[in-house]
Chains A and B, each alone.
Chain A
Amino acid sequence: MKNDVIIALDKVSFSYNGADALENVSLSIRKGEFLGVVGPNGGGKSTLLKIILGLLTPAKGQISVLGKSPHKGRAAIGYVPQYAAFERNFPITVEETVLLGRLGKTRMLWRYSASDHHAVDVALRECEIDGLKHRRLNTLSGGQFQRVLIARGLVSEPEILILDEPTANIDMRVEEDIFDLLKKLNARSTIIVVSHDIGFISEYVTRVACLNRTLVCHETEAVSGKTIEELYGSSVHMIQHAH
């Protein structure tokens, strides 16, 4: 089982200008897992992702991605950032956006190769947006935009796919479609997804990491109202979703 661990954090701590964001976080993510990371705003979810991606260096603790440093291991990670943070009016087409995911795999100079374009076609088909290939990003709906970002993360054929709040500001029906797609992709990639919706993601993920500066992991069946209350630090209402 230990050999299956592809991401390992050991007693990782991180602070922004003295304010603790993560404290003593240890986490092992196994190959093929579909891990949901939940927690309150400011609980350190995005910080955790950025540490795994090598964008932030922890003050204390060790981290390895596929047995390497995050900086070296991240080539095998497909990353899907929060779509709401994007400049929607940037003049770029869906195809050009997804092609950016081939950087690091394609040749350095000159244009993309035929195999890059083929990989883009495959990723667009898999995300069911092949009909949008030549559309500008600012003409897409929120759900379509999110699928483009997933296709961009997928097109490098990553071993690990990391998504930061992929369904924030997206309506519930589209959210379900996106998670159905992720479930399908989980057959070949390990998936880590940050989400605010613990009730919803527990139907899809194999394990939940509850993060509020410190970390507690649970198998999905163990997530109860009490767990959520401890995580958020106050009483919360559990709402039964009707998807």
Chain B
Amino acid sequence: MEFFSALISQSFLQNALLAGLLASVGCGIMGTYVVVKRINFLAGGIAHSVLGGMGIAYFFGKSPIIGAIVAAVIAALIIGWVNLKWRENEDTIISAIWSVGMAIGIIFIAKTPGYSVDLMSYLFGNILMVPDSGLSLMLLLDVFLVAIVMLFYKQLLAVCFDEEFARLRGINVEFFYLLLLCMVALTVVLLIQVVGLILVIALLTLPAAIASQYQGSLLRIMLTAVVLGAVFTSGGLALSYAPDLPAGATIILIAGSVYLISTVARGLIKSKAKVNDI
């Protein structure tokens, strides 16, 4: 109740709620691709290497979010290229990009002159501090992601489902795979503002993973995941407000709990159905 009365009067809470809703669109759509294509580890590598770009941008007095976008896209292209050309060493190379990106970020942030930046806000996000310019950027990224998915839905589905067949039908599989990873990278930047880069992979994948347990087509999973993402971010924000808990971590705990309950419940229903069949 305290949250709702504060929501009406406090603009920072309104911004936070809006940031959560905007993040839900990206996480629902791109999280679905990450889950069905099983590229969670790749997405994790992209997410964590983003700190390198943020640190460098901060060191040179530029916007950390712009640094994050550049670093995320570069990491996506390198990881994608490794996946396409050098698959046998993929795990090692992703791990290297993952940790080297973070190490670069930590060094640049530590060496930034002037007051010390709050590293925790990059690592764990701060939805209550999203400025108006951050919201505009999130809206822009959402519009871009939705437009690309609507225009190339057929090709992206083909590349996720059956790469070989897509290639035979004249689809440039390498291009669409790299495009997909770049879109995942942009989504990571969207979500970092809400939950930070440590927890971003959970918000990216959990809504879609829950939705995929109930829906039978990619489009339905996307729509359900967007709704679930909105419920988790808004619910996490509301629940964390009164006891003054970190909002990002509360959002992830809600999403994780729902995923766990859903998975266990489905397992029980399936085993009950098997018993009935016998």
Contact = CB atoms under 8 A, between A and B. Distances in A.
Contacts of A112: 154
Contact of B36 (A74, A77, A91, A96): A91
Contact of A55 (B157, B161, B168): B168
B172 to A, nearest CB: 11
B150 A81 contact: no
Nearest to A110: B151
A99 interface: yes
A74 B218 contact: no
A152 B168 CA distance: 12
Interface stretch (A26-34, A100-108, A196-204, A223-231): A100-108
Interface stretch (B178-186, B209-217, B226-234): B209-217
Interface in A58-96: 74-75, 77, 79, 81, 86-87, 90-93, 96
Contacts of B169: 100-101, 103-104, 156
A1 interface: no
Contacts of B164: 55, 81
| Secondary structure dominating the interface of B | helix
Given A100-B158, A100-B165, A91 B152 contact: no
A103 B151 contact: no
A192 interface: no
A75 B220 CA distance: 31
Interface in B190-239: 212, 215-218, 220-221
Interface in A127-178: 136, 152, 156
Contacts of B212: 91
Interface in B104-163: 150-155, 157-158, 160-162
Contacts of A99: 154
A22 interface: no
B150 A110 contact: yes
A100 B217 contact: no
A106 B161 contact: no
Contacts of B168: 53, 55, 74, 77, 79
Interface residues on A, range: 20 to 34
Given A79-B168, A104-B170, A92 B157 contact: yes
Name which of B157, B166, B167 has the most chain A CB atoms within 10 A of its CB.
Answer: B157
Given A55-B168, A77-B168, A109 B152 contact: yes
A2 interface: no
A109 B151 contact: yes
A111 B153 contact: yes
Which interface residue of B150, B169, B218, B220 has the most chain A CB atoms within 10 A? B169
Nearest to A156: B169
Contacts of A93: 216-217
Contacts of B171: 103-104
Interface in B78-128: none
B91 to A, nearest CB: 20
Contacts of B165: 79, 81, 100, 152
B197 to A, nearest CB: 28
A136 B216 contact: yes
A79 B167 CA distance: 11
Contacts of A96: 157, 217-218
A50 to B, nearest CB: 9
14 contacts: A55-B168, A75-B170, A81-B164, A90-B36, A91-B216, A91-B218, A93-B217, A96-B218, A100-B161, A100-B162, A100-B165, A101-B169, A111-B154, A112-B154
Interface of A: 53, 55, 74-75, 77, 79, 81, 86-87, 90-93, 96-97, 99-101, 103-104, 106, 109-112, 136, 152, 156
Given A77-B168, A136-B217, 6 more contacts: A90-B36, A91-B215, A97-B161, A104-B170, A106-B154, A111-B153
